[in-house]
Structure 1
Amino acid sequence: MIHTFHLAELPPAVTARALLRPPSGAATPGLDHAECLALMRLGAPAVSLDRLQLRRIAVFAQWRDEDAVDRFLSDDVLGRHLATGWHVRLEYLRRWSRLAALPGLPARTGGWDQDEPVVAVTVARMRLPEVPRFLQWGRPVERQVRDHPATTLAVAAFRPPRTISTFSVWRTVREMEEMVHGRSGGHPDRRHADAMVERRRRDFHREFATFRFRPLAEHGSWEGRTGMVPLS
């Protein structure tokens, strides 16, 4: 099993088609599940063109093996579009909560070093009446992650009407965990921690999961950048 996360600039019609009809295992050999989402700008105003960018797509996917990824990128129409962008291949490590779409993932597999790079992915299905609360608590966290000195890449993405995802690459596990627990460079910063307390008090989501991965290899470029996964 392997996971991938893709970023690409596409014609809006291609992104819209992927949002409406994402790839499925029935038509894509070796694919377990794919989430296709339009990029948002982290921390953008709630009502903004940056909140739904149909020219920029994010795809998070689980595959049986790397051969399936390679076939998709070379043979599938959407895959060939994604191959013009950037993606990272990921080794699954841990989850908090679960997604019905990914039922077979164990809570944890293997271990990690506190000083190695790490990738975090969240996927949530929103409770629509809770969206105003989510934006109130979530946007400060988006800015916290976006501006953190230990993140080399951080994006958020959305598929109407209720799926939202975040993706971030961190220099080290330790720095990511310090942010989660309300510390940043030795200084208190409780935006993420306080938002998690509020979510436990009254959940924003119908379904929510956080995944931790070890980055294996990155391919291509994004916004002119390469080498966004730190060397361990």
Structure 2
Amino acid sequence: MNTITINNSPCVLVIETDETLAQSVSLDLKESGYEPVVAYDANMGMRQAIERQPALIVVDRMLAGDSGLGVCKNLRRAGSRAPVLLMMARDSVDDRVACLEAGADDYFLKPYRSETFLKLVRLYLQPDNYSSEQLRFCDLVLDLGTRRALRNGRVIDLTMKEYDLLKYLMEHPREVLTREQILENVWGDNFMGESNVIEVYIRYLRLKIEQENERRLIQTVRGVGYVLRET
């Protein structure tokens, strides 16, 4: 499904019940070259997501009368593959995991800071340079142009972070990668510290690339990290 651009600007949907905050976010997006669309409740946000097919969706976790996590889950159930950024008031391990489990790609914290927010937006909306290059390991293929994995003729759609994690593993086959290396190279400064974010995403990847009788390729090295190798 293609995203819609208005006047050649990527469309960004902001789902926020606080009108003052929504307008601040909208103004920052517009001044940075994006085309913001604001929805003031969850139902309106879902309608706009379907109609506009935005390139990026911003959701406040604490939506009045609803849950931003619930909105994320409904977006994914509806088939939206646009990156979703959650605006959160807290930064605990439980909050991070809940964010990821709901289908969000990343988060930023309140109080709202333009510079932090726009840096994250640019990270997710930077132009993709098409590449025909592929990474291969056993019967697993990662297409760097389509950002999809293939295994036994089966096409596997990946979220942005799933793709980044699998790409990093496939760039270092049979090499044991520590949690610290994975955090630094896949998440950068966003998830430093004690967190089970890696375990969550490894589980996601395994569910997608290791179905039925397909052999396990992502191995756990207890107390150290993970390695891509044959059993």
Which TM-score tier does this pair reach, normalised by the shorter chain? under 0.3
TM-score (norm 2): 0.28
TM-score (norm 1): 0.28
Which structure is higher in strand share? 1
Which structure is higher in helix share? 2
Structure index of larger Rg = 2
